[in-house]
Amino acid sequence: MTSHFLQAPLRSVSFFRQLTLATLLVVAPLASGPVSAEEAHAVQPGNITMQGRGSVAVAPDMAVITANVVTTAKTAEDALSENSSAIGKVIDAIKNQGIEAKDIQTRGFGIYPRYEQSNSSSGRQPNIIGYEIRNGVEVNVRDLAKLGGLLTLVVENGANSVDSIRFEVSDPNEKLDEARKKAVENARHKAEVFAAAAGVGLGNILFITETSTQMPQPLMMRAESMMASSAVPIEAGETTISADVTIRWEIETKSGD
């Protein structure tokens, strides 16, 4: 009998210990939950994040033009022969102006049948009355001083269609790097202003990233309006290259604060 009375309390104590341990395990995760904002600032260093933009205005230094020769004849052979002769003269004239072969490329060749005009609603296929040949040459003009005279020259030598003229920056990467430097300087300047107003200093950079860039877009000019005059006016204008960055600094508390 005595042994039975002694075993019951021992089992009760063991159960109580298990219950206490289980309770602690449940409560413990709750104690490691989200901390307050004050506690977070107490253990984490302060930082400041700022965006900066830098831009550079740059004048295009090259132009791209496409001059076309369009010929028509009753047969495809005749149209092709006439077209080949005319586009050859145009290319020779371009080369005589000192344009290198690497900057001359033929493109846009096509043969198109021409059909008779008919008011008939019979649905039959109209007769072919001739052919049109179109062939073009694209030229990179790296000396803009030659552009006006070159436009006049290609027309005089057989080009009867000149597409829009495109002004470009031949090597924008150097100017883009300049814009990037200005973007970093802009972000740092703003960060220094805010830090000084808050009575703190800028520490090490935690991260820096380029968020966007803007490269120069080709400037288009319609060539038809310029062909009316033998002295072709050319104004290349300016375009813009820009870069955006985001930088984060550590905040340093000034001594004595």
Q: Of 4-13, 24-33, 141-150, 174-183, which has the strongest mean pLDDT?
A: 174-183
Q: How much is the pLDDT for 126? A: 81
CA distance 194 to 179: 23
Instruction: Summarize the confidence of residues 229-257 as an average pLDDT.
Output: 77
Report which of residues 6 and 145 the model is more confident about.
145
Q: Where are the alpha helices (H) located in 168-251, listed in sequence order?
A: 173-198
Burial degree of 44 (CB within 10 A; 0-12, 13-18, 19+): exposed
The pLDDT value recorded for residue 149 is 87
Question: Which residue from 191, 241, 253 is spatially nearest to 59, judged by alpha carbons?
Answer: 241
Q: What is the pLDDT of residues 189-213, one digit of tens each?
A: 999 999 999 999 999 999 999 999 9
For the record, the structure tokens of 140 come out as: 């990179």
What homologous superfamily is domain 62-168 in, according to CATH?
Protein of unknown function (DUF541), domain 2 (3.30.70.2970)
Highest mean pLDDT among 83-87, 164-168, 250-254: 83-87
* CA–CA distance, 32 with 37 (Å, rounded to integer): 15
What residue spans in the chain does CATH classification 3.30.110.170 cover?
43-59+172-219+237-253
Q: Residue with structure tokens 């289980």? A: 22
Give me the count of residues in the chain.
257
Helix, coil or strand: residue 108 = strand
Residue 37 has pLDDT above 80, yes or no: no
**Which single residue is written with the structure tokens 């049948």?**
113
Return residue ranges of the chain for CATH 3.30.70.2970: 62-168
- The predicted structure's pLDDT at residue 232: 57
Q: Can you tell me which residue has the tokens 């008939």?
A: 120
Tell me the CATH number for domain 43-59+172-219+237-253: 3.30.110.170
User: Token pair of 3, please?
Assistant: 């042994």
